[in-house]
Amino acid sequence: MEGGEGKIKNKTLKNLKREEKKKMRKTFLTIGLILLSIAFVYGNADAVSGQCSNCHTMHNSQNGTNMTYNNADAPNDFLLRGDCLGCHGQNTSSNIVSLGNVPQVLHKDTTDLAGGNFAYITGDKTRATADASTAGHNVTDLGVADSNLTSGPPGDENTTGITTNLTCAGTMGCHGNRGTAGSMAAIKGAHHANDAVLKFPTVNLAGQGTTVGTSYRFLLGVKGGEDTDWQATSSATDHNEYFGATGTGQESTKTTDPSGTMSGLCAECHGGFHGSADIGGTGSPWQRHPTDISLPGTGTEYAAYTTYSTEAPVARTAITDVSGIVTPTGSTDDIVMCLSCHRAHASPNQDMLRWSYAGMSAGTTGASAGTGCFTCHTTKDGN
Ligand code: HEC
Ligand code: HEC
Ligand code: HEC
Ligand code: HEC
Ligand code: HEC
């Protein structure tokens, strides 16, 4: 019996040990899972992912062959395999290319991403009313100069010194730190930054704008909410959310937009079209089309703009999640901005407009009724 008891004791001890081991394994598993999920959350929150070698090359040489995407001998900044257009302007038939999910700004896909498409400047996509000069921002990287606007941005009140030398980023461009010279240097660190504060449904405006990586689309200081596929798919409830101000906002300096608005960024170079002193004060009658003002509410033509339009989008003062609802009040939200009428990069239409201005005829009941300008000026068409 004793032996039996001993066996039982031993068995119990073994069982206990086994249970302890099981428990320990469980604990390790739980800790492991927690660590993994942390890594997953943080891994996902970084803008870029994937093997270093997808994007970087240590010597621009492997088996004696160049590693740059375009096979160039010259190595790139940050040991990259391409420059901005090398990654973002591959001119394929896809608006997002697989290599680390790169949004394209020069491509032949029928659907343009939210910023527009430089292919209207190069002629790789068919233009409507524009030509190579009027379709958009002729950044030098494209190799197609603007033949009309050769003395700087129209409405340049900050003396930017940008004439025909417009670049993607830096002092001569829009993205990155506009106080730093050179596209690459100006964007340093952004692609690997944690950008969770910009993502729906938990956009945190207060945590944005202090670094390039935490700014809306790497536009230093600009706030907003980022659609994860850059509007490759879009609808009233599937789009970017732009940040705006009321009362025409604060005027920008050459490199800073104190309000953090999309229109304020444009005003760093086109300030003459933005501030109250330039547009005829703070109320109607205006002298230039107002931006960073709330759509007037009840009793006005604007009150009928109630469903978000990706053709003529509005900005907001408060953003946490994407919203399809527009509620003009005249004082707080739903704001007219530069991108209500313009694309940021290029469009098929003259003046980089989101629709053909030529198609906007007062009193029309034709195809353009309810579109373009009529999205807000709802009574100026024939309906
Ligand atoms: C999908 C493309 C991509 C992948 C993959 C990638 N990088 Fe980068 N990396 C970039 C780009 C673009 C830049 C330059 C622009 C910037 O800093 O935003 C950069 C910049 C850097 C920089 C300099 C700026 C900074 O953040 O300090 C370092 C260091 C770096 N990468 C290291 C790595 C390492 C290590 C890996 C692999 C674990 C890696 N990268 C994977 C695209 C990538
Ligand atoms: C080696 C390839 C590579 C190079 C070079 C590169 N990018 Fe990117 N970029 C990426 C990838 C990949 C993403 C997508 C990250 C993601 O999924 O959010 C990206 C995203 C972006 C975005 C969108 C960020 C967002 O919030 O969604 C901007 C803007 C951008 N890049 C600008 C630039 C500019 C300007 C340059 C040149 C100074 C540049 N990139 C150079 C690979 C590159
Ligand atoms: C870094 C300075 C800079 C910023 C920021 C900037 N622009 Fe421009 N913009 C220019 C320059 C330079 C030109 C003239 C050269 C050209 O059109 O290529 C121009 C031209 C334009 C044109 C006329 C296009 C044409 O060729 O007829 C429009 C419209 C425009 N900008 C709108 C905007 C909007 C909207 C924003 C904000 C999203 C903005 N710009 C931000 C520098 C800037
Ligand atoms: C209500 C729509 C609308 C809004 C909002 C708007 N624009 Fe325009 N923009 C136009 C139209 C239409 C033109 C064509 C020229 C004209 O009518 O004066 C134009 C032309 C331009 C031009 C080209 C001027 C030239 O000499 O070729 C620039 C630059 C420009 N806009 C910048 C801006 C900026 C910056 C903002 C925001 C501060 C802005 N626009 C807001 C509709 C708009
Ligand atoms: C996103 C909405 C929106 C779009 C799109 C828009 N507007 Fe406006 N527009 C407004 C608002 C808001 C006002 C200011 C109304 C007020 O203060 O009473 C305004 C003012 C005006 C004014 C001056 C009115 C005044 O009282 O001084 C004119 C003219 C005008 N818009 C024409 C246009 C034209 C033409 C287009 C198309 C190229 C256009 N708008 C597109 C929202 C818009």
Looking at the chain, the whole-number percentage of residues with pLDDT higher than 70 is 88
Q: How many CB atoms lie within 10 A of CB 283?
A: 12
Mutational pocket test of ligand 3: of 175, 263, 270, 354, the residue with most ligand atoms within 8 Å of the beta carbon: 270
Output the CA angle 207-209-215, nearest 5 degrees.
105
Q: How many CB atoms lie within 10 A of CB 76?
A: 18
Judge if the beta carbon of residue 54 lies within 6 A of ligand 1. Answer: yes
Q: How far is CA 357 from CA 155, 307, 331, 354, in A?
A: 20, 22, 28, 9
Which among 227, 214, 243 has a CA at the least distance from the CA of 96?
A: 227
Output the CA angle 85-86-91, nearest 5 degrees.
75
- Nearest ligand 4 atom, CA 148: 27
Judge if the beta carbon of residue 208 lies within 6 A of ligand 3. Answer: no
CA of 144 to the centre of ligand 3 (A): 15
Mutational pocket test of ligand 4: of 266, 336, 351, the residue with most ligand atoms within 8 Å of the beta carbon: 351
CA of 190 to the centre of ligand 1 (A): 9
Q: Which ligand is nearest to the CA of 80?
A: 2
Residue of minimum CA distance from atom 14 in ligand 2: 102
Q: How far is CA 120 from CA 73, 136, 153, in A?
A: 30, 8, 19
Determine whether 336 is exposed, middle or buried from the number of CB atoms within 10 Å of its CB (0-12, 13-18, 19+): buried
Judge if the beta carbon of residue 261 lies within 6 A of ligand 4. Answer: no
CA of 371 to the centre of ligand 3 (A): 24
CB–CB of 311/290 below 8 Å?
A: no
Mutational pocket test of ligand 5: of 282, 327, 336, 343, the residue with most ligand atoms within 8 Å of the beta carbon: 336
- Nearest ligand 5 atom, CA 353: 38
Q: Read off the amino acid at residue 276.
A: S
Judge if the beta carbon of residue 288 lies within 6 A of ligand 5. Answer: no
pLDDT of 247 reads 94
Only one residue has tokens 């270093």, namely: 52
CA of 174 to the centre of ligand 2 (A): 14
Q: Which ligand is nearest to the CA of 70?
A: 2
Predicted confidence (pLDDT) per residue in 333-354, tens digit = 899 999 999 999 999 999 999 9
Predicted confidence (pLDDT) per residue in 283-315, tens digit = 999 999 999 999 999 999 999 999 999 999 999
- 148 vs 153: CA distance, rounded Å: 11
Report the pLDDT averaged over residues 78-97: 97
Looking at the chain, the whole-number percentage of residues with pLDDT higher than 90 is 84
CB–CB of 129/350 below 8 Å?
A: yes
pLDDT of 5 reads 44
Judge if the beta carbon of residue 188 lies within 6 A of ligand 1. Answer: yes
Say whether pLDDT at 368 is over 50: yes
Predicted confidence (pLDDT) per residue in 245-289, tens digit = 999 999 999 999 999 999 999 999 999 999 999 999 999 999 999
Q: How far is CA 243 from CA 83, 338, 339, in A?
A: 29, 12, 11
- Nearest ligand 5 atom, CA 312: 5
Report the pLDDT averaged over residues 213-228: 98
Pocket of ligand 2 (CB under 6 A): 47-48, 55, 80-84, 86-88, 100-103, 168-169, 175, 183-184, 187, 191, 195, 217-218, 226
Predicted confidence (pLDDT) per residue in 170-194, tens digit = 999 999 999 999 999 999 999 999 9
pLDDT of 35 reads 42
Neighbouring residues of 333: CB distance < 8 A, sequence distance ≥ 6: 294, 316, 317, 318, 327
Q: Read off the amino acid at residue 179.
A: G
pLDDT of 15 reads 54
